[in-house]
Structure 1
């Protein structure tokens, strides 16, 4: 049965995000397989950012039936959950929310209130992750991993060994951030270029890399526009996005082994309740991220999220966006949250 979202915030009400157009297409989605059963049994909420349509989608099944909410932001991309905290990267800002004390509420709704705002400027922030030293993010415009600051737009934490200077030029399209033991550990980039726009000039279908930040070296090559490195179950996982695959990295061979082949540009990866949760996007043929490998394999691409049994690689369920959301950037699971609401600060 198809589900339609409820729009909890009017356009422009979330002042920390820039105003959206007055006319926006509401999200419609079709669950498949065990998606609703899994979501109900997992007893949590699945959060998904859809950046081109400007939405944070919250999916839950508190009574065994799918419930969707959408909250409007301007270009929401990276997202991370850590206990009561939720971080979302929007255009030129990084927003931090904190969950209300559940005992203080008079109903079952869990409210996340905005408590911090970092003005990042035009960094094109991609992945976001909480760690021991607070929140970190992939600073794509400056080709580095960074932390937010109240004084400046960002504090550099690390940059790839092939990048010689810190300059406002997207050279390698560094986009991913994988944490391990609370520290930044892995990142993904489209190439090893060190000149402005280099990633656009390379063969982006085979120039992608996985970089070990601790070792300061590239550990996997030949990837197709990779994203979303994640440490889970004692292994590194990532999306080989242009191939439409979920992969597991083998450090012995340096290969990224495909675990699942999916009908979309894979990007946005989280793990919860025995499943890998993989975001799927329908990339337009004329877009810079258009991926002939996945398009040739599947033809009709899909947008939404897929549930993957990480042991078998089998897709057990999915939530397909049929209207109002074509490009997913991130997925995150809010455990124990059966009915979530996100409240932003009013405009200053």
Structure 2
């Protein structure tokens, strides 16, 4: 006799009262992935309240946003979505059928392609011109999405001498500068299968892709390098750290220490939006400083930190089902929607080139479908 399916844990959260106001003031929303819970979370301000909107994916991790395109890296695939604002009227109509307070969407992402990569342990991703670059953690390299192959390798650290599906150095993060990939983070300087695990406490490094030279060593499980306001920022995840790299010395300078494993970083104005994971004692996280804190001193959520003062100005804490965060990305839309399972909406919404739209009857264009 088959066992009944377990009841899913609730996806609850608590937040500071000023978080919706911050999103409203900046004109943004925040997209968050949690591979552990299999969700893409959209943090949106709705009439002064915080709306947490979930979409299901198979172990979502990396996010890449450029113009009207959004890519989501999943367990064995990459999903690409396009923002079609004209579809927002349809989404509004459906959402407001039973809503007490009407909502107005200003972005609607619909799926365009799904590319099957195999299990390459997709981590961070970025658009480089028209190409999507991916941190391929399992093969210890940067690669491009390919129309022909599972992936197209384009760079690997000089201490990696072959393409081996063995996660040798746990390459995980990338930073764009001048519209190209310039910096990456890894958890170990090793060519051996799984070799990074031997010194994960302080074996992390940050590498300049242009020169193939290590800029900084001795980091504790670094993630999410970012070039912002003429500084190279990075998360020293194993210590719950957020800081930057001193350009003269290559040293890590701390800005804030937060109550969780820091991973996922995006900026808006003077604010950094930082993902925190609770992390439990395990083969992956055991032996690092953050895991030595009491469990109740570690949390999961998104922290908002002033980059000039290091002060925490707002946060959202996830409870129950969500314990780990991977990506955090600011989106320049106040109330977006992402559609990946509404068959009727997907079947009746079309994206055509401008040359073809000229021959579409006006009444259909007016309906924006």
Q: TM-score w.r.t. structure 2 length?
A: 0.84
CA contact (8 A) 2:88 2:108 kept: no
Task: Give 1:177's aligned residue.
Answer: 174
Q: Go from structure 1 to structure 2 and tell me whether the alpha carbon gap of 1:133 and 1:217 turns closer, same or farther (over 3 Å shift).
A: farther
Task: Give 2:367's aligned residue.
Answer: none
1:217 is the counterpart of 2:213: yes
Q: Go from structure 1 to structure 2 and tell me whether the alpha carbon gap of 1:137 and 1:282 turns closer, same or farther (over 3 Å shift).
A: same
CA contact (8 A) 1:55 1:73 kept: yes
Aligned equivalents of 1:222 and 1:41: distance in 2? Answer: 38
Matching residue within 43, 57, 64 for 2:48: 64
Task: Give 1:255's aligned residue.
Answer: 251
Moved more, 143-152 or 285-294: 285-294
CA contact (8 A) 1:282 1:302 kept: yes
Q: CA deviation at 1:345?
A: 8.5
Aligned equivalents of 1:178 and 1:304: distance in 2? Answer: 22
Q: Which has the higher helix share?
A: 2
What does residue range 3-152 of structure 1 map to in structure 2 within 5 Å?
23-32=7-16, 34-102=18-86, 105=89, 107=92, 108-109=104-105, 110-152=107-149
Aligned equivalents of 1:323 and 1:37: distance in 2? Answer: 26
Q: CA deviation at 1:40?
A: 2.1
Task: Give 2:350's aligned residue.
Answer: none
Task: Give 2:241's aligned residue.
Answer: 245
SS of residue paired to 2:339? strand
Q: Go from structure 1 to structure 2 and tell me whether the alpha carbon gap of 1:148 and 1:22 turns closer, same or farther (over 3 Å shift).
A: farther
Aligned equivalents of 1:328 and 1:44: distance in 2? Answer: 19
Q: CA deviation at 1:248?
A: 0.4
Q: CA deviation at 1:269?
A: 0.5
Q: CA deviation at 1:39?
A: 1.5
1:286 is the counterpart of 2:270: no
Task: Encode CA deviations 1:197-252: one digit per residue, 9 max, x unaligned.
Answer: 1112x221110000000111111000111111111111111111001001101121
Aligned equivalents of 2:341 and 2:172: distance in 1? Answer: 26
Aligned equivalents of 2:113 and 2:303: distance in 1? Answer: 32
Number of residue pairs matched by the alignment: 326
Aligned equivalents of 1:297 and 1:255: distance in 2? Answer: 25
1:230 is the counterpart of 2:230: no
Q: Go from structure 1 to structure 2 and tell me whether the alpha carbon gap of 1:291 and 1:62 turns closer, same or farther (over 3 Å shift).
A: farther
Task: Give 1:277's aligned residue.
Answer: 273
CA contact (8 A) 1:49 1:328 kept: yes
Q: Go from structure 1 to structure 2 and tell me whether the alpha carbon gap of 1:323 and 1:171 turns closer, same or farther (over 3 Å shift).
A: same
Task: Give 2:191's aligned residue.
Answer: 194
Aligned equivalents of 1:80 and 1:90: distance in 2? Answer: 12
Give RMSD over aligned pairs: 1.9
1:337 is the counterpart of 2:321: no
Q: CA deviation at 1:43?
A: 2.1
SS of residue paired to 1:230? strand
Task: Give 1:161's aligned residue.
Answer: 158
Aligned equivalents of 1:161 and 1:325: distance in 2? Answer: 37
Q: CA deviation at 1:261?
A: 0.3
SS of residue paired to 2:248? coil
Task: Encode CA deviations 1:93-112: one digit per residue, 9 max, x unaligned.
Answer: 01110001348635322320
CA contact (8 A) 2:272 2:306 kept: yes
Unaligned runs of 5+ in 2: 93-103, 344-369
Q: Looking at CA atoms only, which structure, 1 or 2, has the larger radius of gyration?
A: 2
Task: Give 1:206's aligned residue.
Answer: 202
Task: Encode CA deviations 1:76-117: one digit per residue, 9 max, x unaligned.
Answer: 000111121111100100111000134863532232001111
Q: Go from structure 1 to structure 2 and tell me whether the alpha carbon gap of 1:290 and 1:329 turns closer, same or farther (over 3 Å shift).
A: farther
CA contact (8 A) 2:281 2:291 kept: no
